[in-house]
Structure 1
Amino acid sequence: MSRNMSSQTVQTALFAATSGCPECGGELDSSGRETNCKDCGLVTDQDRIDRRPSWRTYDQEEQQRTGAPRTVTRHDRGLSTNIGSVDSADISPRRRRRLARQRRLHGRSKFTSKRDRNLAHGLGEIRRIASALSESNAVKEQAATFFREAQEKDLLIGRSIEGGAAAAVYAACRCNGLVTMETVADVARCSDSHIWNCYRTFLVELDLPIPVSLPVDWVARICSDLPFNVSPEIRQRALELAEQATESTAVNGRPDGVAAGALYLAGKESDIRLTQATICEPLDVHITTARQWFQEIEEHIVA
């Protein structure tokens, strides 16, 4: 009893420390449903609802939020609870079996339908793929939002959940930067054809805000992925060639292939032979593709 009273007294002191009585300036008492002045008895608030977050302690210097914040990467927004495992020798085997059964039933009760279970599986796959790619939480949340919208519009019917999750991660990565489909497919649990199928459907039906990638953007990506440092002169020349190729109507194709051809031509002009195999290795581009765009740039821009 004394412990509860002391906690209530500390809580009242914290509530009353922010303001005083508007009439006499005395101390306010907020221990009950009404807030009244201890000196004159003026009631300043009644039936008050405390909308502030819960705290672990009443000590103002050690107050901390309880629980994790809500997140879209969980099927229940992160509001569910889990029954943890207990490894104690004091618990009897009968009690241990009962706790295991309760834990199993509690896990099943989280899902109200098969649709909810598929959502949980897809969001878990999104977290796994994004973590394997070392992506930020913003990318995970955006991918989870794309997956939820696709499920609400019944775009996943007839398609694998793994493919939909990988397509959502690829779309979120494209919205926030440059990434190749091969990079996502390497850590996904399905083939790249399944990912492409889901991604094209998402792109059309969800109206994804994916920016158009340009060859200039891919030049910096290729230079950073090469196993050696590229000189600033070659990098700047490759950027100029890539920008001219973007403005030209004669050179029009996949941006990573055009960027690879521009970088190879810039190295050739500087007498530093960057092999086409070395340039294409960090990309999902074949050597013949880079050779084709190198010849197109050399013919229509440099000539």
Structure 2
Amino acid sequence: MASSDIYADGFDEESTGKLPTNDCPDCPGTLVTEQGETRCDTCGLVVEAARLDRRGKRIHPRDETKRERTGAPLTNARHDRGLSTTIGRGQDAKGNELPNQKRRQLSRLRREHSRATWQSKAERNLGHGCTEIARLVSALGLDRAIREQAATLFRTAQDASLLPGRSIESMAAACVYAACRCAEQTRTLAEITRVARVAESRVRNAYQTLNRELNLPIPPQEPAAFVPKLASAVDAAPETRRAAIALADQATETGLSSGRDPAGFAAACLEVAATEHNGDVTQEALATAADVCPVTVRANRNTLQAQLGTGSA
């Protein structure tokens, strides 16, 4: 029997491209599959090198309409939702040099495209705010979900006319902080302000406005959530960390931590736990990691020792 007959009986290009047998169509060898490639281990014949994608059109489940393979989905992280166009320069898609006449034409197109990018002053402010949010998220090492949520908050604040009288930088920093609070991430206002371009008081004012006007679903911050971060900063022992978390949970249940800075109270819990377990943790290091002064840590420590009877005063 000819090899073409064997190949025709065992391989069908109209189906999934798989052979019903492991026998090579050209020799007595055996077919093996490695890294998506099916070949003969004797003669090296490649039977299946690239599978056809028969899934059809690409569908974005979050969109109301079906979209074909025309790029990435829409995003709120950019002012134009990712629909902007970049006009290249110098070379075409294949890397060939463009003639001078074509370069001059593309230069004129880029100039007109830049002028038409911003349809209004509000859109320009939105672009500036999205860029500032992207810078803050990158500097803080946050994930893309925080950037998306912060950009959505900025859009909502702009639609609610909360920007007049406040700088774009302060509102962008407040949106990042509000997104972290909504996602229950242990980021303090001082951490956000450290990489922002405005003072902490302006960021706090913008955040309070957001929280009051938009009724954000922000849960209260618990001191126990700050303990792992502070313990890693001061290199505390695992038993000290567990004892501090238990102490913070006990203080939360009794209402002892109400009205206190959660990071500073978590630092005090770590200090008390380190004292009980003979840990080498200084009060100054804890205060620095929690972005509070040593007096705050000391006052919370004294309250814990007096109310819960832990350690020695």
Taking structure 1 as the reference length, the TM-score comes to: 0.74
1:237 — aligned with what?
A: 243
Q: Does 1:201 align with 2:209?
A: yes
Matching residue of 1:293: 300
Deviation at 1:95, TM superposition (A): 5.0
Match of 2:134 in 1: 127
What's 2:188 paired with?
A: 180
Q: What's the counterpart of residue 65 of structure 1?
A: 69
**Alpha carbons of structure 1 residues 189 and 104: separation in structure 2 relative to 1, 3 Å:** farther
The total of aligned residue pairs comes to: 245
Give distance in 2, aligned partners of 1:97 and 1:189: 39
TM-score normalised over the length of structure 2:
0.72
Change in Cα spacing, 1:240 to 1:53, as seen in structure 2 (3 Å) is closer
- Aligned partners of 1:188 and 1:100: how far apart in 2? 35
Q: Secondary structure at the match of 1:264?
A: helix
Aligned mate of 1:259, from 237, 241, 266: 266
Q: Taking structure 1 as reference, are residues 143 and 296 closer, same or farther at Cα in structure 2, changes over 3 Å only?
A: same
Question: Quick check: 1:129–1:166 contact (8 Å CA) kept in 2?
Answer: yes
1:80, distance to aligned residue in structure 2 (A)? 2.2
Identity among equivalent pairs (%):
43
Secondary structure, aligned partner of 2:90: coil
1:138 matched to which residue of 2? 145
User: Which digits, 9 at most, give the CA deviation of each residue in 1:162-192, with x for residues without a partner?
Assistant: 1111111111112221101222122222222
Aligned position for 2:125:
118
The 2-side partners of 1:173 and 1:184 are apart by: 10
* Kept after mapping to 2: 8 A contact 1:218/1:255: yes
The answer as to 2:106 corresponding to 1:77 is no
| Aligned-partner residue type, residue 90 of structure 2 | V
Q: Distance in 1 between matches of 2:139 and 2:257?
A: 36
Letter in 1 for 2:290: L
In structure 2, the CA distance between the partners of 1:250 and 1:282, relative to structure 1 (3 Å rule), is closer
Match of 1:58 in 2: none
Query: d(CA) in 2 for partners of 1:166 and 1:91?
Result: 46
| Unaligned stretches of 5+ residues in structure 2 | 1-13, 16-55, 60-67
Instruction: Give the equivalent residue in structure 2 for 1:281.
Output: 288
Looking at structure 1, the residues matched to 210 and 257 of structure 2 have their Cα atoms a distance apart, in angstroms, of: 29
**8 Å contact 1:251–1:300 — kept in the other structure?**
no
Alignment RMSD (CA, Å): 2.5
Once the two structures are superposed, residues 128-158 of structure 1 have per-residue CA deviations (whole angstroms, 9 ceiling, x without a partner) of 2112222111111110110000000000111
Residues 89 and 103 in structure 2, CA contact (< 8 A), matched pair in contact too: no
1:106 aligns with 2:102: no
Amino acid of the structure 1 residue aligned with 2:217: P
Which amino acid letter does the alignment assign opposite residue 144 of structure 1? A
Q: Which residue identity does 2:216 align to in structure 1? A: L
Residue 98 of structure 1 and its aligned partner are, at CA, apart by 4.1
Alpha carbons 2:237, 2:279 under 8 Å: kept: no
Runs of 4+ that moved beyond 3 A? 51-54, 87-90, 94-98, 249-252
**Aligned pair in 2 of structure 1 residues 250, 167: CA closer, same or farther (>3 Å)?**
closer
Instruction: Trace 1:2-17 onto structure 2 (pairs within 5 A).
Output: none
**Residue 106 (structure 1) shift:** 0.3
Q: 1:82 to 1:266 in 2, by over 3 A?
A: same
Matched residues in 2 for 1:297 and 1:209: separation? 30
C-alpha contact (below 8 Å) 1:251/1:297 kept by paired residues: no
CA deviation digits over 1:215-263, x for unaligned, max 9? 111112211222x2x2222122212221222123455312111111111
